[in-house]
Chain A
Amino acid sequence: MHQPHNPPSLSDLQHALAAAILRRGVDTTRAREVSDWMAVPARIDPGSRLAVYTEGYPARLLEALRETFPAVAHLIGASTFAALVARFIRAVEIHSSNLNRCGESLPHFIREDAISESLPFLADLATLECAVQRAFHAYEQPALLAHQFEVATLAEWEATVLQFQPSVAVVHSPWPTLDLWRARDTPRDEIDIDLNDRAQSVVVERRGLDVHCTAIDHVEANLLAKLLAGAPLGEAIHGIATENGADIPVGDWFSAWMRSQWIVGYAVSPLPGT
């Protein structure tokens, strides 16, 4: 084979080709450098073969993100979704080596992207689809049984931090996110969802191997969100009571969560003075 005057080291070659792929259209210098190092049949333009790799990257991400965000992709249409993904890839460095997880920062990106000006519900819908994806792959744990929950005093109960199944998530939105998610299999021209004044709180959970999304009461969702974030029971409930009045059915909700096998454990955070 014809040798270039200054053959690149393995590291130089990998950094140049990776830059040509990951910064396609931005870092054209590296693409020219790589083309000079390529050995292809004489009749072939090296640039066309380099394009097999540089064009493969956005194509793979588009396919993976379409699988993770079927409702977002369906509602905005194929070409708008492709353009959104193209902007996402240019703007965000993806560090996951697993295509199933490459879209974890897409909801945040959508929230900041211009598309949210015309479609303000889209970021919440993407957040819900991320939660569905996480629930689908979650390693579920044995549920806590009622007799295993042993908290002796009110002070301990208030300091208790609940541990939930990794699949359980809450998505609260001022938009009818659950209705929008359910429309992912409805032909686009048949979708007719009233967006006005239709806030929905959605809980995501796994039942066996199936992922379920259900609308729940906004106050329950708020409490659940605080607890999922690691707040002790006392702090979370006092916060909710302050915002919504004291008459909230925490006991009923807690029983329902236990029956649904969402709670897998608990820890009592250190009490003051102990």
Chain B
Amino acid sequence: MLPSDWPQLGFGIGLRAEHYEELASGRQPPVDWFEAITENYIDSGGRPLAVLERIRRDAPVALHGVALSIGSVDPLDTNYLSRLRALAHRIEPALVTDHLCWTGVDGRSTFDLLPLPYTEESLAHVVARVRKVQDALGRRILLENPSTYTAWRHSTIREPDFLAAVAEQADCGILLDVNNVYVSARNLDFDADAYIDAIPAARVGQIHLAGFTDMGSYLFDTHSAPVDEHVWRLYTRAIARFGRVSTLVEWDADIPPLARVCAEAEMARRSCAATIATKRTDHASATQSAQFV
């Protein structure tokens, strides 16, 4: 699979209720696409769905879920999958995504994205379920690396290798959350650069950027702040490795006016363009040098 198999959506922002009024004013914000949290629309026939449909008329939309619970030992929730399929049919999203995690067991949700142990048992379990989900939806999905505050002692596979193995074996995509890589790396003392380098480029269909909160002894993935400078640096590394990938800025708490969030997406656009231009210059210089050898 080539990277170009994934739609190139450009630079987008998360669709949030705090911005509905501004978006309803009719002025198209300066972003290329939007990402909607699936669960905010899957059970709603009111204003949220009307806003989403209106947005979709003018721009591509990705559906980003938090309740698939792909790693749970519970049976897959076929009712949820049916409703997700119906929403996808209605919205025709460019991408359908969720997280590499589990959210609950025995029919009860913790409303959190909980870390999996990265073992052969988990790998077989997740791969089988991704295949079933993709069959049920009639399309491929992308899984996002979660932000984590603990790993498990019995894990035998590094997270990026696990994510890559799931993507290869289940033939799904990767939504690489660069902020989550940085947050988890700081929380668990691993090398964020090495994580990016271990992700198979052809599987990356989307990138997330967001801000975190420094809690002292750990970084908390709050999506309540601008993208941190360390995350911008990591984003540059990711773009240099993966090329131009659809990029989205998430801002979920202490949400500023729409223009501020759009400005963050514009920064991603410039960062991406500069990285790719630098890479082209480096490549041209290297080619030129080679011709004189």
Binding site for B on A (CB under 8 A): 1-4, 7-11, 13-15, 17-18, 21-22, 37-41, 44, 46, 48-50, 52-53, 56-57, 60-61, 64, 93-102, 135-140, 206, 209, 211
Contact = CB atoms under 8 A, between A and B. Distances in A.
B188 A13 contact: no
Contacts of A11: 73, 105
Contacts of B43: 98, 100-101, 137
Given A1-B156, A40-B151, A137-B46, 6 more contacts: A1-B151, A10-B121, A56-B111, A60-B111, A94-B108, A206-B46
Contacts of B109: 94, 96-97
- Which of B119, B187, B217 is the most central at the interface, judged by chain A CB atoms within 10 Å of its CB? B217
Given A97-B77, A99-B111, A137-B48, A37 B105 contact: no
Interface in B42-64: 42-48, 50
B67 A98 contact: yes
11 contacts: A3-B154, A13-B152, A39-B151, A40-B187, A52-B149, A57-B112, A98-B42, A99-B39, A99-B111, A137-B46, A209-B47
Q: Sorted from nearest, which 4 A-B pairs have the closest CB atoms? A: A139-B45, A7-B154, A137-B44, A209-B47
B48 A39 contact: no
Contact of A1 (B45, B104, B114, B155): B155
B153 interface: yes
A52 B219 CA distance: 11
B4 interface: no
Contacts of A21: 110, 112
A94 B107 CA distance: 9
A74 to B, nearest CB: 19
Contacts of B80: 97
B49 to A, nearest CB: 8
Contacts of B33: none
B147 to A, nearest CB: 10
Contacts of B156: 1
Contact of B108 (A17, A18, A206): A18
Interface residues of B, number: 49
B153 A14 contact: no
B108 A39 contact: no
Contacts of B14: none
Contacts of A52: 149, 218, 220
Contacts, number: 138
Interface string B122-158: 1001000000000000000000000001111111100
Contacts of A100: 39-40, 43-44
A101 B40 CA distance: 11
B222 to A, nearest CB: 11
A46 B47 contact: no
A137 B48 CA distance: 8
Contacts of A209: 46-47, 50
Nearest to A19: B105
B110 A53 contact: yes
B155 to A, nearest CB: 6
Nearest to B126: A10
Contacts of A37: 152-154
A140 B50 CA distance: 12
B105 A14 contact: yes
A38 B151 CA distance: 6
Interface centre among B80, B103, B104, B119 (most CB of A within 10 A): B104
B88 to A, nearest CB: 17
B254 to A, nearest CB: 13
Contacts of B220: 52
A139 B103 CA distance: 27
A201 to B, nearest CB: 24
A97 B67 contact: yes
B112 A60 contact: yes
